[in-house]
Amino acid sequence: MERTRVIVRTSLLGILVNLILVAFKAAVGLISGSIAVILDAVNNLSDALSSVITIVGTKLAARSADKEHPYGHGRIEYVTSVLISVLVIMAGAASLRESVGKILSPTPADYAPTSLVIISLAVAAKFCMGRYVRAVGRRIHSGALEASGSDALFDSILSLGTLAAAAVSLLWGLTLEGVFAGIISLFILRSGLHMLHEALNSIIGQRADKATTDALVEKIASYPGVLGVYDMALHNYGPSQIIGSAHIEVAEDMTARDIHKLTRAISADVYMSTGILLTLGIYASNASTPQSDAVRAAVDEAAARFPQVLQVHGFYLDEEQKTVTFDLIVDFEADGPAIRDQILSCLTARFPQYRYLIVLDSDYSG
């Protein structure tokens, strides 16, 4: 709830600042006849509308989980990011169309000293606002606020281009309004497409942050009794709702009671320190025997022939059932089934008395 209040409060501040800038820039643009200033005002108006959508999306995303949505509504924030991106792209396309018209039919702008002062103050205001919003977004892990803050900082730089156009017009009498407006439009389009790409990646599902997964693996591996940590996968159901899973390797003679105590302690520690709800699976590790060591060495040797094999884990030799099981993590670009079959042929030739169950796994966390 506190995170929601911070996002709403920051977005309302952004709306207020942007609407003030729209009013002043539109007035300056209409009085001076500057298309660049007018398009800059339109850009600020789209920013204000984006903040409105951010507020609505944040309110909807904060709703509690229900029967139809047991993981909550956090991903609504990503949907609103898509809407904001589309609005930015539409604004950029409309601006570019107007800019081309100005380039083909240029009309000189008439800048007054007061207009230049207003534009300069707008640049400073947008820069300060951008730094503040981006800092808040990073602090509370809000992608929408981070994007808005970065966009505002970028806008302040683009507004400097408007001042540059005014300086060129006043000093040399050249009319470059259409050119500067076109540059602004292209940067708006680029920003919108980048935001859309990031939002769609979040909806589709992307690789978890490596620093986060590495820290989790290190934390889990530090527990006595954990011989290895594998298959770390994190699923994002909103900026503040992450559910994950991993496998830990333990000695095969560890009791169910000891495993229960260990996995409970790890899950509780991870949740209290990171807020991630983590489910743990178990791999049993063979006690070292000449036969298990020989078969494991053969598995590693066969896998080493293929650079596309990133990891072998979960190895277990069951002498009673004459089975050998292990997981292979193969590069996404490789032909996993073909590599698995070749490794299987190598192992069957060396140790034909066993049946091999090889699971092709995915590199979820790098």
Whole-number pLDDT of residue 161: 67
| Per-residue pLDDT at 1 | 65
Q: Residue 328: is its pLDDT beyond 90?
A: yes
- Mean pLDDT in residue range 328-345: 93
Residue 108 confidence class, pLDDT cut points 50, 70, 90: low
**Residue 25, token pair as written in the block:** 């820039």
- For residues 43 and 155, the answer to whether their CB atoms sit within 8 Å is yes
pLDDT at 308: 93
Rounded distance between C-alpha atoms, residue 346 and residue 351, angstroms: 9
At 256 the pLDDT is: 94
> What is the residue whose two structure tokens read 């940590």?
229
For residue 309, give the amino acid letter. Answer: V
Burial class (CB in 10 A: 0-12, 13-18, 19+), 137: buried
Q: What is the mean pLDDT of the chain?
A: 84
CA 116 to chain centroid: 39
Please name each of the domains of the chain with its CATH number. 2-204 (1.20.1510.10), 210-361 (3.30.70.1350)
Point out which residues pair with 247 in neighbouring strands: 230, 281
Is pLDDT above 70 for 313? yes
197: Cα within 13 Å, side-chain hemisphere: 6
Whether the Cβ atoms of residue 18 and residue 159 lie closer than 8 Å to each other: no
pLDDT per position as a tens digit, 5-22: 888 888 888 889 888 888
pLDDT band at residue 224 using 50, 70 and 90 as cut-offs: very high
Element housing 36 (H / E): helix 35-61
Task: Tell whether the model's pLDDT for residue 162 goes beyond 80.
Answer: no
Phi, psi for residue 128 in degrees, rounded to 5 = -65, -40
State how beta strands 242-251 and 323-330 pair: unpaired
Q: Given pLDDT bands bounded at 50, 70 and 90, which one contains residue 366? A: low
* Percent of the chain topping pLDDT 90: 34
Residue-level pLDDT at 134 = 83
Task: Give the mean model confidence (pLDDT) for residues 250-254.
Answer: 94
d(CA 280, CA 284): 13
Taking CA 26 as the corner, what is the angle to CA 23 and CA 27, rounded to the nearest 5 degrees?
A: 85
Question: Residue 109's pLDDT band (boundaries 50, 70, 90)?
Answer: low
Query: What is the per-residue pLDDT for 112?
Result: 66
Count of Cβ atoms closer than 10 Å to residue 209 Cβ: 13
Residue 35 has pLDDT above 80, yes or no: no
Sign of CA dihedral 109, 110, 111, 115: negative
Mean pLDDT of 353-366: 87
* 75-84, 243-252, 291-300: the lowest-pLDDT one: 75-84
At 307 the pLDDT is 93
What is the maximum span of the chain, computed from C-alpha positions, in angstroms?
92
How far, CA to CA in Å, does 281 sit from each of 128, 156, 173, 253, 265?
48, 50, 73, 16, 14
pTM across the whole model: 0.69
**Per-residue pLDDT at 111:** 62
Q: Which amino acid is at 42?
A: V
As a whole number of angstroms, the distance between CA 192 and CA 183 comes to 14
What is the share, in percent, of the chain residues with pLDDT greater than 70?
90
